[in-house]
Structure 1
Amino acid sequence: MKIALFSDIHANLPALEAFFKDVESKEPDAIYCLGDLVGYNIWPNEVVNEIRKRGIPCIAGNYDFGIGRKSDDCGCAYKTDEEKANGAVSIAFTNQIIEDSQRSYLRTLPAHIKIEFKLNNDALNLLLVHGSPRKINEYLFEDRDEKSLLRIMEQADADIMCFGHTHKPYHRVLRTVIEEKERYRHAINIGSVGKPKDGDNRGCYVLLHINQQSSIYNTESIEVEFIRFEYDIEKAARAIESSPLPDVYAESLRKGI
């Protein structure tokens, strides 16, 4: 089974349209969205509509959670006063232009999606979250202490945990030994479709390959493929510059930061 996973579109319609064109060429068996459909650009309604009309299962991101409740807090961890001030403009603008139907959709999105495979004698649990199983806005960066990351996954009973929120893709394999037998858990940040922050301005998503031999005891039986795709960055950046949103968001798209 080939599962497409994408996240953090952030109202970037040109990026989402390019993503759909690219992912359809890969012919996945299933597709899931890990949230943050809105914020930071001018097309929140259009992005929500594209997800809805395709019937794509989607969980709530922290920005979706805030906008769904007409909150002025997106749950973002801004590092400076300038970032915080810019963020306030973004969420106020999104709250202003979001329509009632789209807001209601965001408010009712689930927090997690859990999928259990029964392929062999052991179960294989796939957990989809936005930030972490504990908090919608918890940042799980690649340098997270291994014991901490493993504990989070064990408590959530997740063999494969896919998440977004940081906009920085990675795949870590966590090894444990139980009754003298090695088992493996996979922590996968799927990156961002519409607001990459890893220095690569192309959109990013993941193809997760599960086959009939996939097992918690064989790390190579689970394949994680990171896909990067081009989109019309200038169209998205100019839309920001022509709106009340801070121009710095346009530059972040151009630079992938």
Structure 2
Amino acid sequence: MKSVQIAIVSDIHANLIALEHVLADIDNRGISQIYCLGDLVDFAPWGNEVISLVKKRGIPCLLGNHDERIAYDIAVFPLEHHDAIETANRDKAIAHSKQTIYSDNKEWLGDLPFSLTLTFRIDGFFKRVLLVHATPISNEHYIFEKDNKQSIASDLINGDIDAIVMGHTHYSYIQKESDVLFVNCGSVGRSKEVDRKASYSILTISARDVEAEIIKVDYPISEVAQAIYQSEIPDFYADFLLQS
């Protein structure tokens, strides 16, 4: 049966080393179609380099909430799930990005689309995959595995969407709700999962179905942590990576 494979990455957060390892893994699998769900910047030293690599590879990319904040110099507001320590470090890290991301890269980020719908025609059947950073209506809200998805699934079915792929939470999962496949591809550069490995997803699209797989990639986390320690980015983000 004919099928198409695509790879989807998200939430690189300026971690160039993790991104390079993920792209090498995708290349080794012979997958040529790669999409990015956004959040290229903040929390590691290589924001400009990550943007340059995504541009060089011609990877279609969405506007993540961190990308939007840097592109438009949006004020930073505290998040309910962050304590005072993380809030203070987050403010410093984002301020660093605002100062160091090149103006042309900010302009490029600001022009990124909010979402993408991919339509595949295979053996006469159409399959549609919606790509978002966080949710179909917000790049700030969270959809976790435990959350009720019935209303979202209903809206997607009405739009003839077979699968939705998102990031933002930094936790990967695959879940079916009302015949809609929900996929969170996790985070390439700042996974919140126990192993801290770089995470991405592969979708296999056929006339019969859309199937997903979560891929975990090893990379030298200690090398990234040391680079953060040696930069002006708060040590908080290196300590976080080393908590695996």
Instruction: Quickly name the TM-score band, shorter chain normalised.
Output: over 0.9
Superimposed CA distance per residue, residues 137-191 of structure 1 (whole angstroms, 9 cap, x where no aligned partner): 110000011324424534654220000000100011112xxxxxxxx11000001
| Structure 1 partner of 2:153 | 150
Contact kept in structure 2, 1:67 and 1:74, CA below 8 Å: no
Q: With structure 1 as the length reference, what TM-score do the two structures score?
A: 0.88
How far, CA to CA, are the matches of 1:20 and 1:58 in structure 2? 14
2:130 — aligned with what?
A: 127
Bigger Cα displacement from structure 2, 33-42 vs 82-91: 82-91
1:121 Cα deviation from its structure 2 partner: 6.3
Confirm or deny that 1:187 pairs with 2:182. yes
**Residue by residue, what CA displacement relative to the aligned partner does 1:63-92 show, whole Å, maximum 9, x if unpaired?**
001101122327965422222111110110
Separation (CA, whole Å) in 2 of partners of 1:68 and 1:138? 19
Contact kept? 1:72, 1:92, Cα under 8 Å: no
Q: Aligned partners of 2:134 and 2:39: how far apart in 1?
A: 10
- Number of matched pairs: 241
1:110 paired residue among 95, 110, 113: 113
TM-score by length of 2: 0.92
Residue of 90, 94, 102 corresponding to 1:91? 94
Aligned-partner residue type, residue 234 of structure 1: S
Q: Which residue is 2:42 aligned to?
A: 39
Distance verdict in 2 for CA 1:195–1:119, change over 3 Å? same
**Does 1:57 pair with 2:96?**
no
| Shift in CA distance, 157/92, structure 1 to aligned 2, threshold 3 Å | farther
Find the aligned partners of 1:76 and 1:14 in 2 and give their Cα distance.
Answer: 28
Shift of 1:122: 5.3
Secondary structure of the residue aligned to 1:128 is strand
Q: Which runs of 5+ in 2 are unaligned?
A: none
| 2:175 corresponding residue in structure 1 | 172
1:180 counterpart residue number: none
Range with greater deviation from structure 2 (5-14 or 247-256): 247-256
In the alignment, structure 1 segments of 5+ residues that lack a partner are: 176-183, 215-220
Percent of residue pairs bearing the same amino acid type? 36
Aligned Cα RMSD in Å?
1.8
Structure 2 residue 195 is the aligned partner of structure 1 residue 200:
yes
Asked if the contact 1:11–1:47 (Cα under 8 Å) also holds between the matched residues in 2, the reply is: yes
